[in-house]
Structure 1
């Protein structure tokens, strides 16, 4: 079942015939992790969704409060028996009508949940190899920092990674600087400095990115900064990792011929689970 405007309907229900999210990518979304019937980082997800809707000039319904956002997700999670641990995606799209110019700016939403195996964030000790994806570039603009349904760079990049036996790819912007990975923000440890690209470079304003920045600042042995990263910097790094709210922190073990340690990743995953009361 999915939650479609507050009603549970079959996933087979046809909501795509005139759907602007399907036809034009006129939609934004949030993916959240639910543990023990609680949405992790609820306020961060809610306010990012509201901000995204404002950026693309959607009309925010009066009843679409934080409490309503939470209620709608948790009601579906309970209905689908995935309260213990699950991912939930809420997609908000402009209502049918018009071509490029919409007839109005009202919206509808749908929510889908998928069960997850683990409540806590796990440390992945397996080899995880990445390389650059250079077929297309991210533009340095506000739209790049929000989660719209236009993810063609991520889709084609994922196909490239699969065809080349990679676990992920690093995306670049139109200045040829590092922006993020296909499935999350990227962090680089160089000496005692932990660096992630600023949002102004075109990266997603990630919810887990924010959490990791806050947790890392509590580690006295490292300096945490938001700075531009060039592809050449990656090969000089001591450690690289990717962040998102579903996996948490994914260490990168290999980039081209360079192999990396995973000590800070492990430290941050432990701190993250502890801060959420998951250990």
Structure 2
């Protein structure tokens, strides 16, 4: 028996008492965007998931191929009638048993899906204000670059943003350098340079980050760099925007007293949609 919110109930009625992703954050996940029954950037998501499983020493099932992952996601999306545009999340967690030391490295997975309003990416040009979140720091380590189910910094940072009337917050690492935003990677435009922090600074190895870097390198006159960004650098920038697979690109209009343009963000969204249409 267990006590759940003051009620004594049978333990087998609450699977969370044994789920390692719930108990220890012993899980990883991928968030996918589906358009017209197709998973965008499937190969990038799959290989990041496999790499993440290896980092945390999960046993990869023999049948867990890219084709199997695609089949399982689309089967759910079709069953829920969401083939036109959907967001799906696949969570992989180590099976029950043990405390900090697991009894097995075998895994299970859970997929759920919800509808999305827009089919292709659009640019939201409404006011979007951010500031630094400094209560907790992101560690410069390999674990920071994968999507684990331990997202307490992102949760507390989101609460901070909400309490202070902000749309988002910028995370910094233990060297006080800029890492990313709460829901994605961060890009800065200064003159003809497009800059984003390197993964070694502790940022997520984002799938959309990879797409934007590749697209920007094809634009004449734009110099693309992965280098350290300080909070002071942000106030000298011409443009800031965040990226993730669901939103695509979100321009940041204000950081502290500085207002920003969104010229390159507009161009990149066009090129992003063009690349999706071609594939």
Q: What is the TM-score of this pair, normalised by structure 1?
A: 0.94
Query: How far apart are the structure 2 equivalents of 1:16 and 1:32?
Result: 24
Moved over 6 A (4+): none
SS in 1 for 2:114: strand
Query: How far apart are the structure 1 equivalents of 2:82 and 2:174?
Result: 41
CA deviations on 1:230-276 (whole Å, 9 max, x unpaired) are: 00000000000000000000000000000000000000001000110
CA deviations on 1:128-165 (whole Å, 9 max, x unpaired) are: 00000000000000000000000000000000000000
Q: Report deviation, 1:86.
A: 0.4
Q: Report deviation, 1:15.
A: 3.7
Aligned to 2:131: 131
Q: Report deviation, 1:14.
A: 4.9
Aligned to 2:273: 273
Q: Report deviation, 1:34.
A: 0.3
Aligned to 1:7: none
Paired residues for 1:1-279 under 5 Å: 14-277=14-277
Q: Report deviation, 1:221.
A: 1.7
Query: How far apart are the structure 2 equivalents of 1:109 and 1:66?
Result: 14
Over the residues paired in the alignment, what is the CA RMSD in angstroms? 0.9
Query: How far apart are the structure 2 equivalents of 1:89 and 1:275?
Result: 23
Query: How far apart are the structure 1 equivalents of 2:231 and 2:125?
Result: 24
Aligned to 1:4: none
Runs of 5+ unmatched residues, structure 2: 1-12
Runs of 5+ unmatched residues, structure 1: 1-12
SS in 1 for 2:189: strand
Query: How far apart are the structure 1 equivalents of 2:227 and 2:17?
Result: 44
Paired residue total: 266
Q: What is the TM-score of this pair, normalised by structure 2?
A: 0.94
